[in-house]
Amino acid sequence: MSDPVNPSVDEPDYPPELARLPPGRHGLPREFVARNQYERLIAGLAEAVAENGYAGTTIAHITRHAAVSRRTFYEHFNSKDECFVAAYDTVMAELRERVDQAFNQEEEWPQASRAGIAAMLEFLTAEPHLARLSMVEALVAGPVVVERYDAAIQGLVPYFEAGRKGRSAEVLAGLSPSTEEALVGGMVSLISRRIFADRTEELESLLPDLVEFALTPYLGSAEAAAVARNG
Amino acid sequence: MADIVKRAGIARNTFYENFGSKEDCFLAAQQFAMSAALSQVVDAAGEIDEWPYRVEAGLAAFLRYVAEEPALARTCMVDALAAAPTSVRYYEESLQAFVSLFKLGRDVSPHGKDLPATLEEALIGGVFWILYQRLLDEESESIGGLLPELVEFALTPYLGAEAARAVAMEGDDAAAWGARA
């Protein structure tokens, strides 16, 4: 029933949601198996897309990487697009949770922002396939995903809006309504262009630049640079 | 492919007489749009000596182009990144033209030497993102109104918020926009 099992040699270390169950008989409850198949399909899609690009990925690629049958695929999804949307949502939820956790662990906003940015870079570096899926392939995966991509990026705006709290009237006067949108867009552009160019390993070295960029409008250059360098 | 020939009102054969593939056609559209936008930016910026006003003039010209040609602008600001590798390369090259205009600000900035190496890329990415969001909302007619905030955003890291704001608010921006449009 299942396709020839061919797990890749250097299997990526996916977050728990994307972890897979070894294929074959295991006597596990049906619901658990179904849930696990779903997760395997999502992880399979991420691998297939990393290998072939979104346009070049077929359902056969996905089922082969997930080591499930075509029928199983159609029990969960009606199309490749639908599977991609599910994968995208899973990756973004995971990314968002990590950013949120890191951000909330810090008392002060500048340090919280730094921690949030660091968490994002760390996740994307550790998961180059998922980084590519969420930042590159999402743009070509059809209008539904593009809309979610835009919403996900705009969803980062409140982390920076929090930086307005407690600033002097002068500083606030210098912040236009679109400041945060521009900051987030600029940071995402730096990050995604590294991923496009297959230079994901450079991402973590962007941390000080991104932090200084994001904090300057609120703290001024000198203070932003200090937080960027020393945390 | 069918969508392209239908919208262009041409035969499929005609398409292939002009372009080898959909990717070639995309790259041509991207190059057409980017070189038109860039030449307007360079013309506008080249007339001005003082750097902050030069950036303002360049941005004004770019916004004007985006407002006039929203579909083409979208092609070179966003869709290019999701297109074939040749398009991504061209995107990167054209970005460098904006980078060099912004980089001149390091000479007039009191802390020009200490600014992060990627600052200009991030600023341009931010400007593109704002414009893209307005295009998505089909608000191309309101794009001109973004000039002061984008100028302020672009100048702040070099000059500080106060000086950046002063430049952005100085002229009657609506009039400047109208006069050049």
pLDDT at A160: 96
The minimum CA-CA distance between A39 and chain B, rounded to whole Å, is 26
Listed in sequence order, the DSSP H helices in B47-108 are: 51-68, 70-77, 85-103, 105-108
pLDDT at B77: 81
Phi/psi for A201 (5° steps) reads: -65, -15
Cβ neighbours of A210 in B, within 8 Å: 118, 122
Is B106 in contact with B154 (CB distance < 8 Å)?
A: no
Contact flag B116-A213 (C-beta cutoff 8 Å): yes
Contact flag B156-A216 (C-beta cutoff 8 Å): yes
User: What's the CA gap between A221 and A213, in Å, rounded?
Assistant: 9
**Which residue among B81, B121, B127 places its CB closest to the CB of A182?**
B127
Is A133 in contact with A139 (CB distance < 8 Å)?
A: no
Contact flag B165-A217 (C-beta cutoff 8 Å): no
Tell me if the pTM is above 0.90: no
Listed in sequence order, the DSSP H helices in chain A are: 30-56, 59-66, 70-76, 80-104, 109-126, 128-135, 143-154, 157-161, 169-173, 179-196, 207-219, 221-230
* Residues from B in contact with A at Cβ < 8 Å: 78-79, 81-82, 88, 92, 111, 114-119, 121-130, 132-133, 136, 146, 148-150, 152-153, 156-157, 160-162, 164-165
Residue of A149, A157, A178, A205 to mutate when probing chain B, most B C-beta within 10 A? A178
Residue of A180, A195, A213, A223 to mutate when probing chain B, most B C-beta within 10 A? A213
Which pLDDT tens digit goes with each residue over B13-58?
A: 888 888 888 888 888 988 999 999 999 999 999 889 999 999 999 9
Q: pLDDT tens for chain A, 231 residues: list them.
A: 444 444 444 445 555 555 555 555 556 666 767 778 999 999 999 999 999 988 899 999 999 999 999 999 999 999 999 999 999 999 999 999 999 999 999 999 999 999 999 999 999 999 999 999 999 888 888 888 888 999 999 999 999 999 999 899 888 888 888 999 999 999 999 999 999 888 999 999 999 999 999 999 999 989 999 999 887
pLDDT at A9: 43
pLDDT at A4: 45
**Interface size between A and B, measured as CB pairs under 8 A:** 117
- For A11, counting Cβ atoms within 10 Å of its Cβ (0-12 exposed, 13-18 middle, 19+ buried), the class is exposed
Cβ neighbours of A163 in B, within 8 Å: none
Structure tokens at A18: 């994307």
Other beta carbons within 10 Å of B22? 14
User: What's the CA gap between B164 and B6, in Å, rounded?
Assistant: 47
Distances (CA, A) of A86 to A46, A93, A135, A213: 11, 11, 15, 32
Structure tokens at A90: 């899973």
Q: In the block, which residue shows the tokens 């932090």?
A: A211
Cβ neighbours of A183 in B, within 8 Å: 126
pLDDT at A20: 57
Contact flag B165-A183 (C-beta cutoff 8 Å): no
Is A109 in contact with A102 (CB distance < 8 Å)?
A: no
Structure tokens at A187: 């940071």
Low-confidence ranges of chain B (pLDDT < 50): 172-181
Predicted-assembly ipTM surpassing the 0.90 threshold: no
Sign of the CA dihedral with A176 first, then B56, B37, and A134 last: negative
DSSP secondary structure letter of residue B81: G
Contact flag B118-A213 (C-beta cutoff 8 Å): yes
pLDDT at B116: 93
